[in-house]
């Protein structure tokens, strides 16, 4: 039974030969694990016997001028000196105009190029799962700032709902 079949059977509550496993990690932790186990970062998921292939969107990396912030697809900035999901720049905090915001283009023809390549390279061996990252609530507060968005929910629920 390959990892994909094992995952499918487990999700259907059917017997499996062993439990499917998945170990996710941050970029820095992946580098540490790969060095410890003397494998490449690319070989780490197979070494850890991960059953899922997590695919993500492809978009050009953008940094601020001094490279202390890296921006995601939505324009939210993250401090390059630390890992985690704590925005250091939230684009709609000071300028809440949704019409003026540069929304990401979901029709970008290259958006899924990396996912397609990863799926093709995998050859159907693992269970494909998208890396959604954040749900709507998390995305909303990452754009607006957590405290600001929570205040929007109370003081301006119409805006928060947009």
% of the chain beyond a pLDDT of 70: 100
pLDDT grade for 130, boundaries at 50, 70 and 90: very high
For 113, residues 6+ apart whose C-beta sits below 8 A from its C-beta are: 58
Residue 96 pLDDT > 90, yes or no? no
Closest CA to 49 of 127, 101, 141, 123: 127
Q: Tens digit of pLDDT for each residue in 15-60?
A: 999 999 999 998 899 999 999 999 999 999 999 999 999 999 999 8
- Give the Cβ contact number of residue 127 at 10 Å: 22
Query: Which sequence spans correspond to the domains of the chain?
Result: 60-109+134-162
Residue 132 pLDDT > 80, yes or no? no
- Give the Cβ contact number of residue 132 at 10 Å: 11
DSSP string, 115-137: HHHHHHHHTT-SEEEE-----HH
Cα 50 to Cα 3, 21, 55, 121: the distances in Å are: 8, 6, 13, 15
CA end-to-end span of the chain, whole Å?
46
pTM of the model: 0.80
Q: Which residue has the higher pLDDT, 48 or 95?
A: 48
3-state secondary structure of 49: coil
Is residue 43 a contact partner of residue 118, using CB atoms and an 8 Å limit? no
pLDDT value, residue 84 = 80
Residue 131 pLDDT > 90, yes or no? no
């Amino acid at each position: 039974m390959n990892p994909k079949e094992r995952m499918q059977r487990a999700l259907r509550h059917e017997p499996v030969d062993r439990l499917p496993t998945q170990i996710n990690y941050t970029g820095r932790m992946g580098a540490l694990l790969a060095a410890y186990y003397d494998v490449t970062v690319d070989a780490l998921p197979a070494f850890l016997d991960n059953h899922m292939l997590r695919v993500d969107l492809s978009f050009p990396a953008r940094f601020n001028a001094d490279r202390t912030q890296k921006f995601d697809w939505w324009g939210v900035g993250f401090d390059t000196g630390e890992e985690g999901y704590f925005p250091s720049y939230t684009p709609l905090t000071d300028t809440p105009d949704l019409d003026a915001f540069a929304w990401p283009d979901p029709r970008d023809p290259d958006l899924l190029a990396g996912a397609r390549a990863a799926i093709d390279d995998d050859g159907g061996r693992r269970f494909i799962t998208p890396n959604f990252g954040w749900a709507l609530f998390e995305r909303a507060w990452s754009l607006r700032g957590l405290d600001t968005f929570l205040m929007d929910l109370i003081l301006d629920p119409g805006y928060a709902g947009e």
